[in-house]
Amino acid sequence: MRVCLFDIDGTLVNAGGAGQAAMEKALARAFGVTQPTEGISTAGRTDRAIIEDLMAFHGLPCDEATWERVREFYLEGLPVELARLDGLALPGVNELLAALSGRDDVVLGLLTGNLVEGARRKLGHFGLDGHFDRDGQLFGGFGDHDRDRDDVARRGREHVRQELDWWEPNEVWVIGDTPLDVQCARAIGVRVLAVATGMFSRDEIAVGEPDQLLGDLGDTDRVVSILVE
C-alpha cells in the first residue's frame, strides 16, 4: 500500500490569492480593519499561523474567541473569493488524481496548512474533493490547531495510524511545492516528491534534498511510477 499526502496551494491548485483575500476581508468584517497587510509570509505555512500573524499585525488580540470569530468569517467568505478570482487546478492534477484514485493499492490524503473546512471549500471549488473523501471526512493533516507544519505532519501521521491501523514510513509520500513541505515530511520520516509549481524555484526547493523533484505533475505516468512502483 502507498499513502500519498498532498499539499493543496501551489501543488494541486493555484487559488489566485483567494485565501489571503478571504482572511483580510474576514478581519475587515469582524473588526473594521482597512489598513493593508504587509510582510506576512504565507507559502507553506498553516492558516492558523497566518491568521494569528494578521491579527497581531493589526493589533488585535490573539485569544481563542477572536480566532474563532475570524475563522468563521474566513470560511464564509472563501467561496466568494474563489469564485471572484482566477484560480485553476495545476497541470496534470486532474489526471494524476484520477489515476491514483483508481488504484486499490493507493490511499489519497492531504497534508496542508489549510483549515480542514477551508481545504474542503478549495478542493470543492476545483472539483477535486471527491478524491480525498473517506466516509464524508477529509483524510490527513490540517492547519486548524498548529502554527508549525511539522506539527501538522505529526497530526497527519496519527490520523493515518488511526484510520488505517497502519504506518510504514517508506510507503508514505508527501507531495508539496515548498521547502516546508520537504521539512515536514522529514519530521515524520517519510518520502517527499516536490514540485516547482508554487512560489519557489527548483533550486530553492532542492536545498532541502527531496527524494524526487519535478517541474510539475503533468507527466501522469512518470508521477504514478515514482509514487507507486
pLDDT digits 0-9 by tens, 34-46: 887 888 888 899 9
Q: Which amino acid is at 31?
A: F
Domain 2-15+88-228: assigned CATH number:
3.40.50.1000
The dihedral of CA 202, 217, 101, 126: what is its sign? positive
What mean pLDDT do residues 60-69 have? 90
pTM for the complete prediction? 0.96
Q: Quick one: average pLDDT of 200-223?
A: 98
> pLDDT exceeding 70 applies to what percent of the chain?
100
